[in-house]
Amino acid sequence: MRLHLVVAASLLGLTGCGGGADAGVRRIEGGRELRFRGVAFDVPATWRSEDRGDGIVLVPANANGSGVLEEVYLVSGDAGIRSLDDPAAEGSVLQAVAQIQAGARKERGPEAATFGGLVGRRWVFTGVAEGGRAVEIRVHAFVGQHACAITACGFPETLRRREADLAAILGSLRVPAAVASAGGGGDVDARTELAGQWIWMANFQANGGGGRQSNTSLTLGADGRYQRHYDSVSDNPNGAAWGSQDEAGTWSVAGGSISFAPDGGMPYAQQLVKQNHPQNTNDPMLVLDGKPYVTASPRRPW
């Protein structure tokens, strides 16, 4: 099956409408916590996650074992959209789904839904893959730092077998408690220690040609201001696509997390770990939600 899958910013023209209380959150026992754009969620211990810079691919255990792409689960976001009530939401969803599966048809949606501690919307689309097999696309949209979604794509019978796992992931969605401190003063000494520019880069080349390169620069100011810039380029035999995002606001450090309050946006927090580069041990890194940012200028190792 060829699903024409794209992890792209346009996938999350889905928009979002705000968070809810944590009363509905159901943690996955023995699961692993992931964070993305101001929200946290659990995945079963047997699932693997692949960070693609502008999104996360979730891979269940033993998925696609036949060598045919039977299912895929995407987490992505769009910094330009912050409300599910945006009149452009429906058109953005249709455009995003068309990128995933050409000719897909909407079966239902948008439907109001609650995912753990967040309120959101749900869409279901169907299509036909190469070879004539039916394909289903389920979009679950919500708001964290900005619009986000978890999208399931695959053969209907395969998605049905994963319904319990997917429901558990969605049921664990929540706003991390550390977000409440975003934009505050935090630990001033730690803020001075971390000030500077940090870089994350990723490069992927497909066996059949084409690939993707992305990079993020995070500049932390000792005055409590920050700037984040993201660039990506992907190419295939049919052409290339570019994308970029910018964000600025205030930041603070408290305990094992770093909190960000974007100008005009929703605060969010990321887990913070300081460690040195495994090969270039003189280069210190900031590992934010598992993503390693290497110092962009000379500084002493941790």
pLDDT at residue 74, as a whole number: 92
Task: Give domain limits for the chain.
Answer: 9-175, 180-295
| More confident of the two residues 176 and 193 | 193
- Of 18-27, 39-48, 216-225, 266-275, which range is least confident? 18-27
If you average pLDDT over residues 286-290, what whole number do you get?
Answer: 89
- Of 46-55, 107-116, 212-221, which range is least confident? 46-55
According to CATH, the topology of domain 180-295 is Lipocalin (2.40.128)
Identify the helix (H) or strand (E) that includes residue 244: strand 239-254
Looking at domain 9-175, its CATH class is alpha beta
Please report which confidence band the pLDDT of residue 136 belongs to, taking 50, 70 and 90 as the band edges: very high
If you average pLDDT over residues 178-199, what whole number do you get?
Answer: 66
pLDDT digits (tens, 9 = 90+) for 157-176: 999 999 999 999 999 999 87
- Taking CA atoms, 236 is separated from 32, 184, 204, in Å, by 33, 44, 12
Identify the helix (H) or strand (E) that includes residue 115: strand 105-115
pLDDT digits (tens, 9 = 90+) for 37-74: 778 899 999 999 887 766 789 999 888 877 778 999 99
Burial class (CB in 10 A: 0-12, 13-18, 19+), 77: buried
C-beta of residue 153 within 8 angstroms of C-beta of residue 139: no
Tell me if the bond preceding 110 is cis, omega within 30° of 0: yes
Task: Round the average pLDDT of the chain to a whole number and report it.
Answer: 81
If you average pLDDT over residues 135-146, what whole number do you get?
Answer: 90
pTM of the model: 0.64
